Amino acid sequence: MNPPHLDRSGSERFFFRTGGSVKPGFLARSISIEKFITIPHIEYSMCRISNIEVAILGLLCEMPRYGYEIEKTIEERNMRNWTEIGFSSIYYVLKKLEEKELIRSKVEVVGNKPPRKVYTVTDEGYSVMKENVKQLLSSFERVISAFDLGLMNMSLLGTGEVIECFGTYLRSIDDTLVFLNDSKREMEGFGLPKHVIALATRPLAHVHTERKWVEDYRNVLEKEESI
């Protein structure tokens, strides 16, 4: 994402412009075209760490863990549905966090099991984690969707072809809704905290909104002779 522009008031101003003519349907979906989205600028005292580092550090803020235990927790919580964490990257991230003195490690030997390295968060690690959570919860991030590329170039297709594509897209949305609703019910069944269940309810709200837009625009196209 291109860096935001700061105005004199200290606000981040995101703007996205397009050249040439723009289809009404595209305007309806991309409401930021030729407009500014102004978001209050917030100053933070710490050095920003990556999202993957936040994910790993957050798990260690819960309790000390060793590498395989972190991987197991990521799998159990289906964290790869909303974070980009590869198995091999876990140890790379742990090394970076330790170099930044946000975590420390010690080797433990339990019974006849092989030695294992256990990671614990430092006081600085807790402070950095809290500031990063504040920043993540305070900043809007525009999601880049390949669907918009299709919208921009759909005049190459016939109206019937586009309507057919939209039908397929709606079916894929419905599959996603089933998955998210199942995840929500499973989380509720385990009695997980509300902020964890929000990991299902937030995307549910987004997907419902996307479905309505696609369905409404498809209805418009069905009444048009051309795109």
Q: What is the pLDDT of residues 150-194, one digit of tens each?
A: 999 999 999 999 999 999 999 999 999 999 999 999 989 989 899
Q: What is the pLDDT of residue 94?
A: 96
Q: What is the pLDDT of residue 48?
A: 81
Token pair listed for 40:
């209050």
- Cα 70 from Cα 91, distance rounded (Å): 10
Sequence length of the chain is 227
Name the residue with higher pLDDT: 77 or 135: 135
Q: What is the model's pTM?
A: 0.69
**pLDDT tens string 99-134:** 999 999 999 888 888 899 999 999 999 999 999 999
**pLDDT tens string 40-54:** 444 444 578 999 999
Q: What is the DSSP string of 141-197?
A: -PPP-HHHHHHHHGGGS-HHHHHHHHHHHHHHHHHHHHHHHHHHHHHHHTT--HHHH
Decide if pLDDT at 18 tops 60. no
Q: Which CATH class is domain 51-138?
A: mainly alpha
Q: What is the pLDDT of residue 46?
A: 54
> DSSP class of residue 10?
S
Percent of the chain with pLDDT over 90: 61
Q: What is the mean pLDDT of residues 76-104?
A: 88
Q: What is the mean pLDDT of residues 80-88?
A: 80
Q: Any residues with CB less than 8 A from the CB of 152 and at least 6 apart, and which?
A: 26
Angle in degrees, CA 166, 204, 140, rounded to 5? 95
Q: What is the pLDDT of residue 8?
A: 33
Strand partners, 5: 13
Give the DSSP H/E element, type plus range, for residue 119.
strand 116-121
